Amino acid sequence: MSDLATEIKQLIIESLDLEDMTVADIESDEPLFGDGLGLDSIDALELGLAIKNQYQITIDAESEDTKKHFASVSALAAFITASKEG
Amino acid sequence: MDDNAIHLNVNQWYAWSPGIESSDDWEAWARKQRMPLESGVPELPFVKPMLRRRLSQLSKMAVKVAFECLSKEGQQVVADRTVFCSRHGELTRTVGLLESLSLDEDLSPTGFSLSVHNAASGLYSIANKDKSPSVSLAAGRDTLVEGLREASMLLNSDDAETVLVVIAEEPLPEHLLPFADEMQRSFALALLLARGDNTGKRLSFSSFDSPVEVLTERAGLPEPQSLAVLNFLLSQETECKIPGARSSWVWRQNA
């Protein structure tokens, strides 16, 4: 597991108050919303804000790609890496 | 009997404060043999973790007493109506949001969506799958009185046989403490009221043009009205005068 993925999992747990969860409980490739972790639309906004604050990247709420970036921890890690390079 | 009095039948009650949960705890509290702890969080095993994480301390206390009061022989029941009361509501969240604004930070979407006065009512209805109509109100120091008056109107004019009244309060955020006019306590109280049911405890209240000495506050801030009423409910007294916002209230109960 990459350091960035672990960092994102930690951020998910802290920003979304997932009190009973640890980094090990979140699979990097499982869906974050709906079936997998079971996050909802408020979580999406909260997580977007946390990522924006921690990594100083802009997230376009209107963009169709944003949905893909938030699909899983792995997708988020790829998105953050690409945004920081770009 | 006073014609202006509001008469209620209390079928069930449940109260929670840090360190004071069981009815024995509350009786010891009423005898001044037990004091609440400084802080504590109510346990909510009946609320799923993904929903529970969204509840503030205030909502946790409100949902806790609502559930416990509606728990009958291990079964969860619902009331025909619910009335959720709080003098200051989710003020802790609101002050947190204002602090973020003052620092030019983005607002937490969760904090924003749950800073409304009916947050506790909404979260309770999701947790208990209760679709019955609900009222959320605040009425200063008379919040409990007005919540019970609302419940009485629902019982008398609506087709409600039972109404659950919940009141939850927590200490004011630090910046606002200088404005406090009551003792600052974390607590929640739920009362299940029924229409024309004489099995419960009969309780009534009416306003009372008090002579000055009744309204004179003793040294320090007075106890919140709802805790004074709970103290009365737990006593053997049949009558008690409790100060309100603009008048005092005379409370009566059957011994």
**Tokens, residue B204:** 């009534």
Looking at the structure of chain A, the number of domains it has is: 1
Q: What is the DSSP string of B200-243?
A: SEEEEEEEE---HHHHS--SSPPPPHHHHHHHHHTSS-SEEEEE
**B250 phi and psi angles, rounded to 5 deg:** -95, 120
Contacts of B50 in chain A (CB under 8 A): 38
Q: What is the DSSP string of B21-86?
A: -SHHHHHHHHTTS----S------TTS-HHHHTT--HHHHHHHHHHHHHTEETTEE---SEEEEE-
Largest interatomic CA distance in chain B: 59
Distance from C-alpha of B90 to C-alpha of B6, rounded to nearest angstrom: 29
Q: What is the structure's pLDDT at B63?
A: 98
Q: What is the structure's pLDDT at A20?
A: 85
Is residue B110 one of the residues assigned to a domain?
A: yes
pLDDT tens-digit map of B44-65: 999 999 999 999 999 999 999 9
Contacts of B52 in chain A (CB under 8 A): 19
pLDDT tens-digit map of A34-44: 888 889 999 99
- Stretches where chain B sits below pLDDT 70 are 1-3, 197-198, 210-219, 255
CATH number reported for the structural domain that contains residue A11 in this entry: 1.10.1200.10
- Residue B110 to residue A53, Cβ atoms within 8 A: no
Domain span at residue A73 reads: 3-85
Domain span at residue B85 reads: 9-201
- Optimal mutation site among A14, A16, A45, A59, interface B, most CBs of chain B within 10 A: A45
ipTM metric: 0.85
Q: What is the structure's pLDDT at B212?
A: 43
Is residue B236 one of the residues assigned to a domain?
A: no
Looking at the structure of chain B, the number of domains it has is: 1
Q: What is the structure's pLDDT at A58?
A: 84
Is the pLDDT higher at A63 or at B44?
A: B44
- Residue B106 to residue A45, Cβ atoms within 8 A: no
Residue of B75, B85, B66, B62 whose CA lies nearest to B13: B66
CATH number reported for the structural domain that contains residue B181 in this entry: 3.40.47.10
Quote the minimal CA–CA distance from A81 to chain B in Å: 23
**Length of chain B as a residue count:** 255
| A39: closest chain B residue by CA | B50
Q: What is the structure's pLDDT at B199?
A: 74
Interface of A with B in 45-74 (CB under 8 A): 45-46, 49, 52-53
**Tokens, residue B90:** 């989710």
The sign of the CA dihedral B69, B75, B76, B79 is: negative
